[in-house]
């Protein structure tokens, strides 16, 4: 059994870029058992339902950018839609097109573009385009070419200082969009903005952004825009600020079962972490006191000890800086000692005597659900001085994703 998941776990599909066919059979090995990020699609569905409850009556856009924060965009998108999400959100048009190519037909928004973005393909695929202003002319050119009106969501910068039309350009952007809409070249489907500090509920800026958003909505509506969806909330705002929900919430982190709040665990929020990162102990050996460990010899054993080699490193997306991060082996959690290398890292099991020999090939869990005090992505975030978003998202393509509890085959969109 992989990853200590319950027996109900049903492994139905696997994606991995390295061929495992004849070679795998010949060598007796399955790359999946060596190391994998196990993605529990039941957890995704549970989290979507939990967030949909919190958001109701607003609808849920499942944010599946960056390969669903490292979890696998297509299976996660399908699970999220099955559990009640009605929209999908991504950063890039290319990410949206990949979902369309997989047969996913739900409403979909892409919001981050360059002058090289393929607006024509977005229009052709019925992908909604987030628009800060400069994109309008190009979107309209694409609509003319495709002989199909573009669907856009106007974005306003209410304080984050990134994407979105500046407040003082809003009038102008709205006017221009309405002109194009009157010509039948586009339809303003949505108006949106993004929050900057919703994960710190005590800060005042969320109120200021909310007030600014209400203001721009009023301006747009007075000018004659009649959007289907107005949206502002991310995961933390969905959970803590009902007044930011409007018609639609855009939730990413929460659907992966992670907490956006410093002082609250995902369990306290009713969420279940969906990714378990695990591998097998690849070597166990007894060493004397004073044995140096890994590059730079930054760690020396304090007595006779057994070292266990964990075959994952920064090429797999484990942050090099995260020495001290936890690895659970045989029910106990040990900190990584010495430097994390490209492919491997070491834990010190202490003076366990002959017991060490039995641990060759044992499961080694870096993070997972946290059940029973197991290690979490939050632990790794602390060890690396980053957030849990980055820990799961940066797990590299070298780690095969293993999807468990996939939904039953449904509809004609599946192969």
Ligand X SMILES: *Cc1c(COP(=O)(O)O)cnc(C)c1O
Q: Identify which of residues 112 and 321 has a Cβ nearer to ligand X in the complex.
A: 112
Does residue 194 belong to the site contacting ligand X (CB under 6 A)? yes
Which span sits near ligand X by CB under 6 A: 178-186, 249-257, 283-291, 293-301?
249-257
Q: Which residue from 158, 206, 234, 244 is in contact with ligand X, where contact means CB under 6 A?
A: 234
Q: What is the nearest approach in angstroms of ligand X to the Cβ of residue 260? A: 6
Q: What is the nearest approach in angstroms of ligand X to the Cβ of residue 227? A: 16
Q: What is the nearest approach in angstroms of ligand X to the Cβ of residue 122? A: 16
Site string for ligand X, 148-187 (x = CB under 6 A): ----------------------------------------
Binding positions for ligand X, 250-309, rule CB under 6 A: 250-254, 260
Residue owning tokens 């991504």:
90
Does residue 119 belong to the site contacting ligand X (CB under 6 A)? no
Residue 415 and residue 413: Cα distance in Å, rounded? 7
Residue nearest to ligand X (CB): 252
Residue 317 and residue 342: Cα distance in Å, rounded? 9
Binding positions for ligand X, 396-415, rule CB under 6 A: none
Site string for ligand X, 53-72 (x = CB under 6 A): ----------x-x-------
Maximum separation of any 2 CA atoms in the chain, in Å: 79
Q: Identify which of residues 257 and 326 has a Cβ nearer to ligand X in the complex.
A: 257
Identify the active-site residue in 16, 33, 59, 65.
Answer: 65
Catalytic-residue membership of 295: yes
Which span sits near ligand X by CB under 6 A: 77-85, 183-191, 208-216, 247-255?
247-255
Contact 359, 329 (CB under 8 A): yes
Report DSSP letters for 267-296, one per residue: TTTT----EEEEEE--EEEEE-TT-EETGG
Q: What is the nearest approach in angstroms of ligand X to the Cβ of residue 326? A: 24
Catalytic-residue membership of 65: yes
Q: Identify which of residues 269 and 345 has a Cβ nearer to ligand X in the complex.
A: 269
Q: What is the nearest approach in angstroms of ligand X to the Cβ of residue 261? A: 11
Q: What is the nearest approach in angstroms of ligand X to the Cβ of residue 28? A: 41
Is the alpha carbon torsion for 272, 237, 167, 109 positive or negative?
Answer: positive
Q: What is the nearest approach in angstroms of ligand X to the Cβ of residue 235? A: 3
Contact 188, 170 (CB under 8 A): no
Does residue 388 belong to the site contacting ligand X (CB under 6 A)? no
User: In 10 A of CB 92, how many CB atoms?
Assistant: 18
Q: Which residue from 87, 111, 119, 299 is in contact with ligand X, where contact means CB under 6 A?
A: 111
Residue 238 and residue 32: Cα distance in Å, rounded? 35
Contact 73, 98 (CB under 8 A): yes
Does residue 230 belong to the site contacting ligand X (CB under 6 A)? no
Element (H, E) at 171: helix 170-182
Give how far Cα 336 sits from Cα of 180, 339, 344, 350, 381, Å: 58, 8, 10, 12, 14
Could you give the angle at the alpha carbon of 402 between the alpha carbons of 359 and 309, nearest 5°? 25
Beta bridge partners of 347: 308, 336
Q: Phi and psi at residue 388, in whole multiples of 5°?
A: -65, -25
Burial (CB < 10 A; 0-12, 13-18, 19+), residue 115, is exposed
Give how far Cα 215 sits from Cα of 132, 166, 167, 172, 391, Å: 17, 13, 10, 15, 37
Q: Identify which of residues 245 and 250 has a Cβ nearer to ligand X in the complex.
A: 250
Which span sits near ligand X by CB under 6 A: 141-149, 248-256, 262-270, 400-408?
248-256
Contact 2, 38 (CB under 8 A): yes
Q: Identify which of residues 235 and 276 has a Cβ nearer to ligand X in the complex.
A: 235
Residue 5 and residue 85: Cα distance in Å, rounded? 26
Q: Identify which of residues 248 and 349 has a Cβ nearer to ligand X in the complex.
A: 248
Q: Identify which of residues 252 and 313 has a Cβ nearer to ligand X in the complex.
A: 252
Q: Identify which of residues 14 and 212 has a Cβ nearer to ligand X in the complex.
A: 212
Residue 272 and residue 253: Cα distance in Å, rounded? 11
Report DSSP letters for 316-355, one per residue: GT--TT-TT-EEEETTEEEEEES---SS-EEEEEES-GGG
Residue owning tokens 């010495």:
338
Q: What is the nearest approach in angstroms of ligand X to the Cβ of residue 192? A: 7
Sites of contact with ligand X (CB under 6 A): 63, 65, 111, 194, 234-235, 250-254, 260
Annotated active-site positions, please? 65, 295
């Amino acid at each position: 059994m992989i990853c200590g998941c319950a027996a109900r776990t049903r492994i139905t599909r696997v994606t991995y870029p390295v061929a495992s066919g004849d070679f795998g059979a010949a060598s007796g090995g399955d790359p999946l058992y060596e190391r994998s990020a196990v993605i529990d699609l039941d957890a995704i569905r549970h989290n979507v339902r939990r967030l949909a409850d919190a958001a109701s009556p607003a609808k849920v856009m499942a944010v599946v950018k960056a390969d669903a924060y490292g979890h696998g965009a297509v299976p996660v998108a399908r699970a999220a839609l099955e559990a009640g999400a009605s929209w999908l959100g991504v950063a890039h048009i290319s990410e949206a097109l990949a979902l369309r190519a997989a047969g996913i037909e739900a409403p979909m928004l892409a919001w981050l573009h360059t002058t090289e973005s393929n607006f024509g393909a977005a229009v052709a695929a019925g992908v909604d385009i987030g628009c800060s202003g400069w994109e309008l002319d190009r979107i309209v050119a694409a609509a003319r070419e495709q002989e199909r009106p573009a669907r856009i969501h106007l974005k306003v910068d209410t304080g984050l200082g990134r994407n979105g039309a500046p407040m003082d350009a809003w009038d102008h952007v709205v006017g221009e969009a309405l002109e194009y809409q009157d010509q039948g070249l586009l339809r303003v489907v949505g108006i949106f903005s993004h929050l900057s500090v919703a994960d710190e509920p005590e800060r005042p800026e969320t109120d200021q952004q909310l007030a600014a958003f209400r203001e721009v909505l009023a301006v747009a509506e007075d000018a004659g825009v009649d959007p289907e969806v107005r949206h502002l909330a991310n995961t933390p705002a969905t959970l803590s600020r009902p007044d930011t929900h409007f018609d639609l919430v855009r939730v990413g982190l929460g659907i992966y079962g992670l907490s956006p709040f410093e002082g609250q665990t995902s369990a306290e929020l009713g969420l279940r972490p969906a990714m378990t990162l695990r591998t097998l102990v690849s070597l166990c050996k007894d060493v004397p006191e004073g044995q140096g460990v890994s590059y730079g010899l930054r760690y020396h054993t304090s007595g006779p000890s057994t070292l266990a080699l964990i075959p994952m490193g920064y090429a797999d997306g484990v942050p090099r800086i995260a020495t001290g991060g936890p690895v659970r082996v045989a029910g106990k959690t040990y900190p990584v000692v010495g430097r994390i290398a490209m492919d491997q890292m070491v834990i010190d099991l202490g003076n366990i005597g002959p017991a060490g020999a039995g641990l060759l090939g044992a499961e080694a869990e870096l993070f997972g659900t946290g059940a029973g005090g197991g290690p979490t992505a939050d632990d790794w975030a602390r060890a690396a001085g980053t957030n849990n978003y980055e820990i799961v998202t940066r797990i590299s393509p070298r780690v095969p994703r293993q999807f468990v509890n996939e939904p039953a085959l449904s509809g004609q969109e599946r192969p």
